[in-house]
Amino acid sequence: MILLDQALEKSRNLFSDGEFITKLSSLVSLVTDSKNSMSNDDLTNYYSKGLLGILVELGIQTKIIDNPIKNCPPFLIGTRIESSKLKTMLLYGHGDTVPLQEGQWNDGICPNELKIIGEKIYGRGVADNKGQHLINLLALRSVLKTRKKLGFNLKVIFEMGEEIGSPGLFELCEQHKDYLKSDVLIASDGPRVAIDVPTLFLGSRGAINFELEVKYREGAHHSGNWGGRFKRSWSQVVTCVERNCG
Ligand SMILES: [Zn+2]
């Protein structure tokens, strides 16, 4: 069996032998609601109790960096350098979540206790962003276990404030730009185009910020997951701008 097949089989086994669910369950059990956290220590626990084990397995040297903005949650950054001649991947993830909204989940689901119903896995952070970065880290571990090396350098950056606007992320990247310098950024965050369609966006390299108010639904809905028609009109706006049609 070639190495790629072996690595893929190792990754598949993570689901069949239950390791993925066990690990995800322990990440979800750590309450990391950045809007309502009592202290930054609550959030930083996610680094030590949630991520450190697998980062060590990946041979990543990590450090916790204070947020450049006072009283905002610290960052975790780390590197595994195999050779200065190799390309470097930077992996991004956020460990914080939106509020738990206890009592508002179907079927008596407790948001910080993982629950599998049918083919779906429920728990706060499963789809944003604990599930995604766990998948990425475990996939990298499968490669490492198979090849005994990655074949590229790996850098990571994790934050605990994405759901409150990523305070200090820009400043941190500016201050540590040499440390974080990479050839590709892998940031698995945001929704898929449909629940059963794996989705890969390429070339997301910048943003233009503007404010647009649309009264579309009652209450708070995540625009990425519940955008519906609004998302379509946004793509029409982009198309229009690209075609210069005003
Ligand atoms: Zn997210």
Question: How wide is the angle at C-alpha 162 spanned by C-alphas 159 and 164, nearest 5°?
Answer: 125
- The most distant pair of C-alpha atoms in the chain lies apart, rounded to whole Å, by 56
pLDDT of residue 89: 97
| CATH, domain range 3-207 | 3.40.630.10
Q: Report CA(130)–ligand 1 centroid distance (Å).
A: 9
- φ, ψ of residue 46 to 5 degrees: the values are -60, -35
Contact between 111 and 105 (Cβ < 8 Å): yes
Q: Report CA(162)–ligand 1 centroid distance (Å).
A: 7
Q: Report CA(147)–ligand 1 centroid distance (Å).
A: 31
pTM here?
0.83
pLDDT of residue 78: 98
- Comparing CA positions, the residue from 65, 90, 96 lying closest to residue 175 is 65
| Dist. CA 55–CA 57, nearest whole Å | 5
Average confidence (pLDDT) over 1-23: 94
pLDDT of residue 240: 43
pLDDT tens profile 85-119: 999 999 999 999 999 999 999 888 999 999 999 98
Q: Where are the domains of the chain?
A: 3-207, 210-246
- Comparing CA positions, the residue from 74, 24, 72 lying closest to residue 51 is 24
pLDDT of residue 141: 97
- Comparing CA positions, the residue from 94, 71, 89 lying closest to residue 158 is 94
Contact between 186 and 120 (Cβ < 8 Å): no
Q: Report CA(227)–ligand 1 centroid distance (Å).
A: 15
- Comparing CA positions, the residue from 109, 163, 157 lying closest to residue 136 is 157
- φ, ψ of residue 115 to 5 degrees: the values are -140, 135
pLDDT tens profile 15-52: 999 999 999 999 999 999 999 987 898 899 999 999 99
Average confidence (pLDDT) over 204-225: 75
DSSP assignment, residue 74?
A: P
Q: Report CA(83)–ligand 1 centroid distance (Å).
A: 31
Q: Report CA(93)–ligand 1 centroid distance (Å).
A: 8
Distances (CA, A) of 113 to 22, 122, 124, 138: 11, 8, 8, 21
Q: Report CA(95)–ligand 1 centroid distance (Å).
A: 9
Residue 243 has pLDDT above 70, yes or no: no
Q: Report CA(214)–ligand 1 centroid distance (Å).
A: 21
Average confidence (pLDDT) over 50-79: 97
pLDDT tens profile 133-182: 999 999 999 999 999 999 999 999 999 999 999 999 999 999 999 999 99
Q: Report CA(87)–ligand 1 centroid distance (Å).
A: 26
Q: Report CA(107)–ligand 1 centroid distance (Å).
A: 25
pLDDT of residue 221: 78
pLDDT tens profile 190-207: 777 888 888 888 876 667
Q: Report CA(190)–ligand 1 centroid distance (Å).
A: 6
Token couple for 101: 């909204």
Strand 75-80 relative to strand 120-122, pairing? unpaired
Residue 242 has pLDDT above 60, yes or no: no
Q: Report CA(1)–ligand 1 centroid distance (Å).
A: 36
Question: Does the N-terminal peptide bond of residue 40 adopt cis geometry, omega within 30 degrees of 0?
Answer: no
Q: Report CA(244)–ligand 1 centroid distance (Å).
A: 32
| Dist. CA 127–CA 124, nearest whole Å | 8
Residue 148: how many other CB atoms lie within 10 Å: 8
Q: Report CA(27)–ligand 1 centroid distance (Å).
A: 15
Token couple for 52: 């450190």
Average confidence (pLDDT) over 207-218: 78
